[in-house]
Chains A and B, each alone.
Chain A
């Protein structure tokens, strides 16, 4: 893990809907009507391969692939769909990010499998051997995703490594070998989740949750993260706005300039009136500066 990694939830959605690594041509493609052109699907599929190779995730570009499949079921490529779902699952920026749901929403909008078999039969004469891989892996992926959302990390790793379902076998044998970054992305995701709740955590617990084999591995993992330090038998996590919250008081703020026209009149025409009213109402949080400027 590179030393500059931060396990903090992104402050804004920009890196999600417009990631900095997205190439210009892909950006132009998915923000125009060209995204409906079936001929462009290979460009997007190639980009998906790059993402998988580099351990990155461009949710919107991948949704554009699924959109094309949704409109043109004959083009749909089960392998690509599963790659997208798996990538959305392991590379989501936070566990509350909707990446996996969005991908499901489009990926599962597909015609009946009987019909596809029928058509495949027409084309290739091997209807009998056709297995709907998406249907096979879906329950497994959904289970993994639910465990992540519920933060049941111990069980998650258990299912990740040793689930016996057909879907799990398919994912492990055919997909994970290509998704080299899957495990490190998942650990980062879990670390991000932990960091938003904990200011310090027992090393042994961290080890279980991250599925690391020894305390040494925990140390080297922690060293790679900004603001994480091992202290005795626990790991300290630097304050990030979420793990150092304080009780506070919310003060009411009203932008008078937007409320109605009387504000400027009251202030500019008869400055005397305003203090009287203020006093009367005991309003202590009105931004008079803004009011007067306006």
Chain B
């Protein structure tokens, strides 16, 4: 995962000399090519009408030409070399231009405005449709991220991304294109984001201009749920990704998997698109309030630390956030906690490499939400969890934790509601207001449906409300090893039946189904006890059984064993000492040699914490062996 961030992407850019300012002769020449191109082919770029109606068309071409003249040379150059890199499938160059070149130019020229439109740059790239759809994908992503998308942007970005996927899915044979996985993930991630953004924009009938209303009425299919799901499922099916994942899980050889994958699915482009589509489906289903379907689409996915999704931080965090949230919606709080904690530990370890990424902000925000959700989940299902993460939760949400744990409706419920509202995904409804029918639309406005987020929050609060009394009971029971229900009833000022009812409620709150990583689908789970405090009732006698936890030594053991191993490695790699008496003259030289060798020997050890199970922060292998090694060798001085 970390590899991409250790390398400085800038270093992969073409030498600065390649960016020499274009001379006017160059410029003329290029325009000559452009003109030539138009003369020969006409403009065939996507979205460009091909009718040839004299004056108007010529004016339009003039307009494009002068628009192109406005484009700074460096940008033109960039677009051309970007195009070239994609034509050559030169992945390292594509990656560097995608990750840093594009952002650098954006900052320099387009921090407050759009990049040149697709048709304008079409001439620079020979009207290459595929490249232009990719270019527009970036163009619109920039509009969404930095500027305010207008209705045209929203419609056109949809048309563009559909065109791109059509090109890929409906070609007679696999398109020989290879894009970095980072880009493929971002593309699909953005696809879902724009869908979500559109659905929210569409649901607000007020403040829409005549034009917008008309466009919405005429184009109900734009960003509709069915079309978005259609794209994602098509990518899944074309790539045979589920079949591939099943085969891999069953231990098939790469050749067998490739055969199952077929012509398309065996190409990295299709395979990766299919893979990320599964994650996008997880997201879309969660947004639509269907957590079971969300987890169902992930059933063949491996969530462990070696899987593809962990190679991209944004993807890793998004996947875990949504899986965790889906578990929460199923009331499986311990599973949700496990998922959140594991990704937060990962993120805390990785973030030092990430602060430069343009997505850092949104990833950090998603992590922030998980801390809030952890506060909620651990209140509803207290149990042992990672201390470091829980300390952060307490620091940030101490006040809300106290309120939620108070068990008093008037303080607890608002705190639950606040955290849930702020930290849940932006739910949406698949149904559009009936823009096509004036009367129905009026009826809709007069009585709008409940907002999806509010509806989901209410549902969640219903679940919380019935659990409120549980924590009081739990703290009472902590004081006894056995107590008569009548006595307990006296304390609580309730009748005995009520107390027993509350006990049963506590019992059900301390049971859950837990998923075991690597076993079955995400929906599978075994019933287990979530809390240390347990009890049973014999007649009316409550017998309390509290489970205690031994002191934990493993982390300490692992650290020390690793340290010992490091020492041993250093010793092993050091050259044998040469008796001082025999070599009195050459010993200085000898020592120097040792010191040169030693870092090499120590460097052969692990350089990072690999393969960590979730929640295992205690056992983090130490790094930094290189720095420590010389001091630990008895031969060092």
Contacts and interface: CB of A to CB of B under 8 A. Distances in A.
A250 B290 contact: no
B508 A151 contact: yes
A118 B508 CA distance: 45
A110 B444 CA distance: 12
Contacts of A96: 331, 508-509, 511-512
A280 interface: yes
Given A9-B511, A118-B440, A282-B553, A277 B462 contact: no
B462 to A, nearest CB: 7
Interface stretch (A41-49, A79-87, A142-150, A215-223): A142-150
Chain B interface size range: 35 or more
B293 A13 contact: no
Most buried by B among A96, A270, A282: A96
A271 interface: no
A282 B513 CA distance: 34
Contacts of B292: 17, 59-60, 63, 102
Nearest to B225: A71
Max count, chain B CB within 10 A of own CB: residue among A71, A276, A278:
A71
Interface stretch (A157-165, A166-174, A178-186, A198-206): A198-206
A117 B539 CA distance: 55
B289 A105 contact: yes
Contacts of B444: 111-112, 114-115
A11 interface: yes
Contacts of A13: 513, 523-525
Contacts of A201: 537, 539
B466 A146 contact: yes
A196 B545 contact: no
Contacts of A33: 233, 237
A105 B459 contact: yes
Nearest to B448: A112
Contacts of B110: none
Contacts of A281: 553, 556-557, 560
A91 B261 CA distance: 41
B229 interface: yes
Interface string B605-634: 010011111001001010000000000000
B550 A285 contact: yes
Contacts of B561: 262-263, 266, 274, 277
B447 A248 contact: no
Interface string A207-229: 01000000000000000000000
Interface string B219-252: 0000001100100010001000000000000000
B545 A246 contact: yes
Contacts of A60: 292, 296
Interface in A65-117: 67, 70-71, 73, 94-98, 101-102, 104-106, 108-115, 117
A188 interface: no
Nearest to B467: A149
A262 B536 contact: no
A131 interface: no
The list of the 4 closest CB pairs from A to B, nearest first, reads: A114-B447, A149-B466, A114-B443, A254-B554
What interface size band does chain A fall in?
35 or more
Given A71-B226, A252-B554, A102 B291 contact: yes
B293 A151 contact: no
Could you say which of B329, B452, B507 has the most chain A C-beta atoms within 10 Å of its C-beta? B507
B183 interface: no
Given A96-B331, A196-B507, A252-B553, A114 B446 contact: yes
The listed residue with most B CB atoms (<10 A of its CB), out of A31, A71, A118, A244, is A118
Contacts of B469: 150
Given A9-B527, A114-B446, A258-B611, A202 B440 contact: no
Nearest to B621: A260
B529 to A, nearest CB: 8
Given A98-B330, A115-B444, A198-B537, A260 B606 contact: yes
B514 to A, nearest CB: 10
Contacts of B552: 252
B260 to A, nearest CB: 17
A249 interface: yes
Of A97, A153, A262, A284, most buried by chain B (CB within 10 Å of CB) is: A262
B259 interface: no
A113 B504 CA distance: 39
B548 A12 contact: no
Given A249-B548, A260-B606, A11 B526 contact: yes
A261 B556 CA distance: 17
Contacts of A193: 504, 507-508
B505 interface: yes
B545 A245 contact: yes
A286 interface: yes
Contacts of B513: 12-13
Given A105-B329, A249-B548, A283-B556, 4 more contacts: A104-B459, A246-B545, A266-B564, A274-B561
9 contacts: A10-B527, A94-B508, A105-B290, A106-B290, A112-B449, A151-B501, A245-B529, A247-B548, A258-B611
Contacts of B452: 109
A110 B429 CA distance: 8
Contacts of A270: 568
B536 A198 contact: yes
Interface string B499-522: 011111101110111000000100
Contacts of A142: 462
A262 B508 contact: no
B33 interface: no
Contacts of B548: 247-250
B311 to A, nearest CB: 19
B595 interface: no
Interface in B428-474: 429-431, 434, 439-440, 443-444, 446-450, 452, 455-456, 459, 462-463, 465-467, 469
B524 A105 contact: no
A54 interface: no
B562 interface: yes
B539 A200 contact: yes
A208 B496 CA distance: 13
Most B CB within 10 A of own CB, among A13, A243, A249, A256: A13
Interface string A117-160: 11100000000000000000000001000100111111000000
A118 B447 CA distance: 11
Contacts of B465: 146
B501 to A, nearest CB: 4
Interface in B384-442: 429-431, 434, 439-440
A194 B465 CA distance: 21
Contacts of B504: 151, 193-194, 196-197
B62 interface: no
B20 interface: no
B75 interface: no
Contacts of B24: none
Nearest to B520: A14
B375 to A, nearest CB: 21
Given A199-B536, A281-B560, A112 B553 contact: no
Contacts of B293: 63, 67
